[in-house]
Chains A and B, each alone.
Chain A
Amino acid sequence: DAGVIQSPRHEVTEMGQEVTLRCKPISGHNSLFWYRQTMMRGLELLIYFNNNVPIDDSGMPEDRFSAKMPNASFSTLKIQPSEPRDSAVYFCASSLGKRGSYEQYFGPGTRLTVT
């Protein structure tokens, strides 16, 4: 299996622009997670989906952030408009099942820089 696939790997954009991050989970996994990693806040969960339905979006920082999962093999995280404080590494992870016993497998991450 190819693992969790994220694109782009690096994104540099100017403040105010729209940014879309993409994720393809491992085939057969039905839970998908978006995380953000920064030096100040560490790794934090933004949102997670189970069977394409958002279950917990309490970590989404504000209305500028939105996430969708139109089908089992694709998810997007959008930031509009982007701000310099959004600069971070964004990870997507997937797991089999909703229960916590299943390991989450992470993608390589997208490094976002907003200037």
Chain B
Amino acid sequence: AQTVTQSQPEMSVQEAETVTLSCTYDTSESDYYLFWYKQPPSRQMILVIRQEAYKQQNATENRFSVNFQKAAKSFSLKISDSQLGDAAMYFCAYRSAIGKLIFGQGTTLQVKP
């Protein structure tokens, strides 16, 4: 069975600085997809970024980028130029080609002004 692990329950960053959230996963599949979701206090789940396992190039969405290391089964999220609105819980998620979305435990990000 696939598992997703986020080892950092809480992180903090100074406004305008860069922060990296860690995620590792375990799978025996070769075809899968990885996502980062953001959950602000409103509890709405918002998709931040996605990565296809077959793509070597790391995904980037504006200030958000990932470091995808397939052999190491690592999928970290880097937030550049952090803003107060980035404060939220961030979830790493794994989805197989035909299966369900499996979430990590989440990392609460605090942004300090």
B100 touches A103 (CB 8 A): no
B43 touches A45 (CB 8 A): no
Q: Provide the residues of chain A in CB contact with B46, threshold 8 Å.
A: 106
CB distance from A51 to the nearest CB of B (A): 14
Q: Provide the residues of chain A in CB contact with B35, threshold 8 Å.
A: 103
B84 within 8 Å of A by Cβ?
no
B98 touches A43 (CB 8 A): no
Q: Provide the residues of chain A in CB contact with B105, threshold 8 Å.
A: 42
Can you spell out 28 A-B residue pairs with CB atoms less than 8 angstroms apart?
A: A33-B100, A35-B101, A42-B106, A43-B91, A44-B103, A45-B101, A45-B102, A48-B100, A89-B43, A93-B45, A98-B98, A99-B97, A100-B32, A100-B95, A100-B97, A101-B33, A101-B52, A103-B35, A103-B50, A104-B101, A106-B44, A106-B45, A106-B46, A108-B42, A108-B43, A108-B44, A109-B43, A111-B43
| With A100-B32, A101-B33, A101-B52 as contacts: A45 and B100 at CB distance below 8 Å | yes
CB distance from A111 to the nearest CB of B (A): 8
Q: Provide the residues of chain B in CB contact with A43, threshold 8 Å.
A: 91, 103, 106
Size class of the contact patch on chain A: 20 to 34
Q: Provide the residues of chain B in CB contact with A45, threshold 8 Å.
A: 100-102
User: Which B residue sits closest to A103, measured CB to CB?
Assistant: B47
Q: Provide the residues of chain A in CB contact with B43, threshold 8 Å.
A: 89, 108-109, 111
B96 touches A100 (CB 8 A): yes
User: Which A residue sits closest to B50, measured CB to CB?
Assistant: A103
Q: Contact mask A37-54 → B, CB, 8 Å, 1/0? A: 000001111001000000
A100 touches B44 (CB 8 A): no
CB distance from A46 to the nearest CB of B (A): 10
B103 touches A42 (CB 8 A): yes
CB distance from A88 to the nearest CB of B (A): 11
In the bound complex, what is the Cα–Cα distance between A103 and B33 (angstroms)?
10
B45 touches A91 (CB 8 A): yes
B41 within 8 Å of A by Cβ?
no
CB distance from B67 to the nearest CB of A (A): 20
